[in-house]
Structure 1
Amino acid sequence: MAEQHDHEHAHEDEGTGPRRVVGEEPDLTRGTARPITVVGNPVLHREVRTVTAFDGELSALIDDMFQSMYAAEGVGLAANQIGVDLKVFVYDCPDDEGVRHIGHVVNPVLEELPAGRRALDDGQEGCLSVPTAYQELARPDYAAVTGQDKDGNPVRVEGTGFFARCLQHETDHLYGYLYIDRLSKRDRKDALRQMADGTPKYATVPNG
């Protein structure tokens, strides 16, 4: 997922003191940034494969995903956004209280929202696979995802506000949905126009 449209970058408020961090920062001596696949690439428009091998290759993929996300200045990245047909995403994303959440989820599944947590949050949303475009999209202001870590251990990640949006956005990717698929036809067309008119600041994979 792209950084917040109304902030200079995802890690704003530097200089106001240390922020709480949930999760562990990745080792950036490992991994290599890869170019980002963009809307129209078939791997983005179908459900990808369940991860069954929790091995060194998966760990190396996660390292590459963090590097790719940071190179593109994103706050979340799904494996198919670098062309890999596997259910895993990474994130380094703030919530609305300024808490920084860092981690990864393998084989994520969004939990059904409890009756008392179904309020919608209208906010600007962007995607690294639809570069330079942003649109308003209403999503639940709370989300919880269950899955596994790179070693196959069960994990559960929950969040509110912008981080909840990120969890939903990245899980959507792995089931073949981009955020523009949830827009009206008019807003989707406008997002694609923004993309056509813009120039991404990071490497992308040409379609065709």
Structure 2
Amino acid sequence: MAIREIIILPDKQLRLISKPVEKVTSEVRKLADDMFETMYDAPGIGLAAIQIAVPLRLITMDIAKKDDEEDGKKPRVFINPEVISASEELSVYEEGCLSIPEYYEEVERPATVRIRYMDLDGKTIEEDADGLFATCIQHEIDHLNGVLFVDYLSKLKRDRVLKKFTKLAKRAE
């Protein structure tokens, strides 16, 4: 396992549409392991492969509360995830993103969604998501489609964030 570098806004790769995973291979499993290590190190609760510059439809997530499990972890992998239905009811959560560090804003999304994905055994699964899980899975699936949570903000807020991160990137060079 290895901690990979997380790409940061305004990196253009964040706008790429990720390609489907054709088959669950040892490389895909290793990528998922690296993603978990990277996500936990960051620390974050979700990571899309594109955030480490790998344009594949793969997400790792762990939204377990520290006291849920003995070790506080409940890692999950979603391969080729898609939202197949969404509630009309909306909910608002304050979102952040490992690719947009230390920036948080409230985002409105469907309160519940039904998702379909493949697990690491190649089995197709459908399940309902609500609460933090619904918000997080929608946020990460957006990444696979080149969409960032700041795209849901007003043009003024979005432009401010883009300008700030563009300046930071120039300074870092």
Q: Same fold (TM over 0.5)?
A: yes
Q: How many residues align?
A: 167
List alignment gaps of at least 5 residues for structure 2.
Answer: none
Residue 120 (str. 1) matches residue 90 (str. 2): yes
Match of 1:169 in 2: 139
Greater alpha carbon shift after TM alignment, 146-155 vs 127-136: 146-155
CA RMSD of aligned residues (A): 2.7
Match of 2:10 in 1: 40
Q: 1:123 to 1:77 in 2, by over 3 A?
A: same
Match of 1:187 in 2: 157
Q: Deviation per CA, 1:37-91, whole angstroms, max 9, x where unpaired?
A: 1122232102111111311000000000000100111000000001101000010
Runs of 4 or more above 6 Å deviation: none
SS at match of 1:112: strand
CA distance in 2, matches of 1:104, 1:194: 32
- Cα displacement (A) at 1:192: 3.9
Q: Deviation per CA, 1:157-207, whole angstroms, max 9, x where unpaired?
A: 432111110010000100111111121112213434665799xxxxx9x99
Does the 8 Å CA contact 2:79/2:119 hold for their aligned counterparts?
yes
Does the 8 Å CA contact 1:89/1:106 hold for their aligned counterparts?
yes
List alignment gaps of at least 5 residues for structure 1.
Answer: 1-30, 199-203
- Cα displacement (A) at 1:150: 2.0
Q: Deviation per CA, 1:74-116, whole angstroms, max 9, x where unpaired?
A: 0000000011010000100148xx7975301101111122xxx
Greater alpha carbon shift after TM alignment, 187-196 vs 156-165: 187-196
CA distance in 2, matches of 1:152, 1:81: 23
Match of 1:68 in 2: 38
TM-score, structure 1 as length reference: 0.72
CA distance in 2, matches of 1:101, 1:66: 11
Q: 1:93 to 1:194 in 2, by over 3 A?
A: farther
